[in-house]
Chain A
Amino acid sequence: MDELRSRQLKQKLGLFWGNFGLPLIFILIVIVFSITSPNFATSYNLLSNFGFASYVGIAAIGMTFVIMTGNFDISIGSMLALVGVLGSSFIPKIGGVGGVLSTVAIASFLGFINGIFVTKLRIPAFITTLGMLYVFRSLAYIYTNNVPVYISDRFWLYFGNGKLFGVIPFPILLMVICYLVAYLILRKSPVGRYIIAVGTNAKAAALSGINVDNIKILVFTLLGLFVGIASIVNSANLGAANPGLMGQNYEFQVITAVVLGGTALSGGNGSLGGSLVAALIVTFLGNGMGLMQVNSYWQLVATGLVMIFAVSLNKLKFYLLGQGE
């Protein structure tokens, strides 16, 4: 009897954590920072934070898909910089709309290349994308000669600084649209089921007639597309595309968000909503520490600790639910 009861208790704990853990952490963070720094809880700071969170959140949506198939992409920070400098440098020739479209197209293509390397050559994703991380970054440097590309096109800048009804930052709307599209793909289309099947058991998926390679290429391409959108948001926020500064540590923030959001690193089902809430947590933590004037080196240490903490928490959840990762 005792054993049964303890198992039930464990399950309850696991379910509670799975449903309410993240929002609770988020609320806790907002409360703590509101008390410690008076500038935190202003509507201006909170709204602009939601805007910044979309920069992490949009890519986190794509990364959720990739991690669900049991892969990683650590090249997205460099990809963000490369497509940002490429797209923004095209603006004088093809206009703002063309620049935005070309950025998204190039990013999707880079994601596609990552997918081809991972599937057709069977190179583990993290090491392919580790190589790409350096290739993309150095191409961004070489293309711009390490000079930032300044952006004055109003259409492009609207992606980062535009406000709906004069209040809500446009990136938030963008993130919501991305989320809805991803949600429909994942929960309402066969592709979503295929992605989950590939992540849960690639062999079984292949035997039941799913083209595993194509699904993997698709998720990498999707991630590229989302990174392209995030790149426009980010460069518009900063007013320039900087080949060296854009996307530093970006892959780290995004993967932390996805893992903290409850997606298992070993693949299988994932949580898009969890990734978004976790992206908020990661962004608010950074902003709060900045407002408290925490030394930026401490912030570096903290991001690393949060990542390990997030993975361990995930392990704990799966252990409590008796699923084992």
Chain B
Amino acid sequence: MVRFLKLYEKIGIFILIVLASIFLGIATPNFLKTDTILNIITQGTYGAIVGFGMVLAITSGGFDLSVDAVVALTSVFLSILIPNIGIPSAIIISILISCFIGFLNGVIITKFGVNPLITTLSMATIVRGVALLIANGKQIPISVTKFTVIGTSKFLGVPIPIYIMVVLFIIFYLLLYQTPLGRHISAVGSNENAARISGLNVVFIKIIVYVLVAFTASINGVIRTSQAMIGIPSMAPGFTLLVITITILGGTSLSGGKGNLVGAVFAGIFISMVYYGLNLIKVQYFYQLLSVGLILIFALFVDGLRQRYLEAARIKGIKV
């Protein structure tokens, strides 16, 4: 059982993808076309990108429920700034504002000692309120057509968002597995007290993590806004659930210390396949929400089971 669970940890998500592919391949002839596959992968990148940030947060033993609101805030700022100061500076400023929100999250969590869940849940309400206030509750169309390039155009036949994801993946991969900061994040997540005693600056590390989560959420906001060409203050409802589902389905353990970025990418693609399948049978939007909720509970179920067995094995003296 232990060996099976270890194996599942590594390749479970691939098995799910293979099963889903077989199912979709039988269900519809359209599935095996390059366009469809690229489309599914592109849809999958949106969640995966923010999943990278969430992997870091959960690895550090934290949590971020404010990502959906940050996406919306980015969207609103972009729609207001782009006509005034041009595309590049608008993107940079919107991302910086989001990073500042991540910074606030980090400060409240570390300096005030407020539970991460409560902090980011409150921050989500506040940020959503601010986005609605700035946009006055309305959607703001963007007329600068060049901006649409980021979300919709292709380079060498591959959509731009996929490139963005690959670049972010490399950065986050190097950061988590190849730098001291990455090891420190894992250390804080496995045992915060031990990390503090061995001289790590836990406050700094946690703040960086929350800034990075907000950064990835902001990138997601840029891509979405570029596709919609509208600033939407109510953008991305329920997106946080999707991101957390992707993270946990991808094999990042809730107990902290162990992050799995590769898993996040494939979990994002898997969810995107589920959505594609649900669209095929033309069910309402609510079923998408239900499916993500159920997948999350399934992933949690597996994660819980895995931890129980590993713990039992450890007590029996089996090396894990």
Q: Which residues of A contact B (CB under 8 A)?
A: 72, 74, 117, 121-124, 126-128, 130-135, 137-139, 141-142, 146, 249, 252, 255, 259, 265, 295, 297-305, 307-308, 311-312, 315, 325
Contact = CB atoms under 8 A, between A and B. Distances in A.
A134 B117 contact: no
Given A122-B307, A122-B308, A303 B297 contact: no
A126 B115 CA distance: 12
Contact of B292 (A134, A304, A307): A134
B36 to A, nearest CB: 26
Given A127-B254, A301-B125, A138 B112 contact: no
Given A126-B63, A139-B290, 12 more contacts: A123-B301, A128-B300, A133-B241, A138-B290, A138-B293, A255-B118, A298-B129, A304-B125, A305-B122, A311-B114, A315-B113, A315-B114
Nearest to A303: B125
B121 interface: yes
Contacts of A138: 286-287, 289-290, 293
Interface residues of B, number: 45
Contacts of B217: none
A305 B117 CA distance: 14
B48 interface: no
Contacts of B130: 297, 301
16 contacts: A72-B117, A117-B300, A130-B241, A130-B296, A131-B241, A131-B300, A133-B241, A134-B241, A138-B287, A139-B290, A142-B290, A255-B118, A265-B118, A304-B124, A315-B114, A325-B113
> Which of A121, A132, A139, A295 is most buried by chain B, counting CB atoms within 10 A of its CB?
A121
A135 B290 contact: yes
B133 interface: yes
B117 to A, nearest CB: 5
Contact of B117 (A126, A128, A135): A126
Contact of B132 (A132, A134, A255, A297): A297
A76 B95 CA distance: 34
Contacts of A135: 290, 293-294, 297
Interface of B: 63, 65, 108, 112-115, 117-119, 121-126, 128-130, 132-133, 137, 238, 241, 244-245, 248, 254, 284, 286-287, 289-290, 292-294, 296-297, 300-301, 303-305, 307-308
B181 to A, nearest CB: 26
The 10 closest A-B pairs by CB, nearest first: A300-B129, A121-B304, A134-B293, A304-B126, A304-B125, A301-B129, A138-B290, A135-B293, A141-B286, A297-B132
B187 to A, nearest CB: 20
A146 B284 CA distance: 11
A117 B293 CA distance: 14
Contacts of B284: 141-142
A301 B113 CA distance: 21
A259 B118 contact: yes
A64 to B, nearest CB: 15
Contacts of A304: 122-126, 129
Contact of B300 (A123, A137, A249, A265): A123
Nearest to A146: B286
B108 to A, nearest CB: 6
Is the contact region of chain B dominated by helix, strand, or loop, or is it mixed?
helix
Given A255-B118, A304-B123, A298 B286 contact: no
Nearest to B300: A123
A274 to B, nearest CB: 17
Contacts of A300: 125-126, 128-129, 132
A127 B10 CA distance: 23
Contacts of A131: 241, 245, 293-294, 296-297, 300
B80 to A, nearest CB: 16
A259 B304 CA distance: 28
B272 to A, nearest CB: 17
A298 B115 contact: no
A125 to B, nearest CB: 10
Contacts of B244: 127, 130
A117 B297 contact: yes
A297 B113 contact: no
Contacts of A121: 300-301, 304-305, 308
Contacts of B303: 123
A315 B124 CA distance: 21
B118 to A, nearest CB: 6
A278 to B, nearest CB: 15
- Greatest chain B CB density within 10 A among A135, A295, A299 is at A135
A315 B108 CA distance: 12
A305 B301 CA distance: 34
A137 to B, nearest CB: 7
Contact of A295 (B133, B289, B292): B133
A312 B112 contact: yes
Nearest to B297: A131
A146 B289 CA distance: 14
Nearest to A255: B118
Contacts of A301: 125-126, 129-130, 133
A280 to B, nearest CB: 20
Nearest to A266: B115
Contacts of A259: 118
Contacts of A74: 121
Contacts of B296: 127, 130-131, 134
Nearest to A139: B290
A126 B116 CA distance: 11
B289 A137 contact: yes
Q: Which of B115, B117, B286, B292 is most buried by chain A, counting CB atoms within 10 A of its CB? A: B286
Contacts of B108: 308
A135 B286 CA distance: 9
